[in-house]
């Protein structure tokens, strides 16, 4: 069972534990458009250019395991909370001991009518960056 939190709860985890990591599992373009300050980016899925459909990132597990130790406290986020839940489950199955899914993601979770059910990181007024810090973009992480 993966722990759950909201964006303010995730920000509190990151504030109180300097070793905690925010892992953004959105696509590279989504990440580059804006992400939680200090986040690492390893997409769970890639868009298949031929079909226009999302496909699993075959390197997800390898890249995350190479960068983050299994004892690292990891908060996983995406756009609304679905991809991050799946990524958090994968990490837990790989032996990561302290994984939390951030419900609401960066952009907020919505019900079928479009009403916000959980405000996202950005809507919560939490720190946002558009430039990845050194060593935190997917391009850098996958080549390390």
- Please answer whether residues 3 and 89 qualify as being in contact, where contact means their C-beta atoms are separated by less than 8 angstroms: no
**Rounded-to-integer distance, Cα 1 and Cα 139, Å:** 31
**Rounded-to-integer distance, Cα 78 and Cα 69, Å:** 21
Catalytic residue among 44, 68, 78, 88: 78
Which residue(s) pair with 5 in the sheet? Answer: 102
Q: How far is CA 64 from CA 27, 38, 74, 126, 130, in A?
A: 15, 16, 11, 24, 21
**Residue 78 annotated in active site:** yes
**Rounded-to-integer distance, Cα 4 and Cα 116, Å:** 18
41 token code pair: 């980016």
**Active-site residue list:** 78
């Amino acid at each position: 069972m993966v722990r759950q939190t909201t964006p303010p709860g995730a920000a509190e985890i990151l504030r109180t534990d300097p070793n905690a990591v925010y892992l953004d599992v959105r696509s590279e373009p989504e990440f580059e458009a804006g992400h939680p300050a200090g986040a690492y980016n390893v997409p769970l899925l890639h868009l298949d250019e031929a079909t226009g459909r999302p496909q699993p990132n075959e390197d997800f597990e390898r890249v995350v395991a190479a960068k983050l130790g299994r004892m690292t406290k990891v908060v996983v986020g995406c756009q609304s909370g679905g991809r991050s839940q799946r990524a958090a489950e994968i990490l837990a199955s790989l032996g990561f001991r302290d994984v939390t899914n951030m419900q609401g993601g960066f952009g907020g979770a919505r019900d079928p009518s479009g009403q916000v059910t959980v405000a996202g990181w950005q809507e919560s007024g939490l720190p946002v960056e558009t430039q990845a810090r050194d060593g935190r973009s997917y391009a850098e992480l996958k080549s390390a």
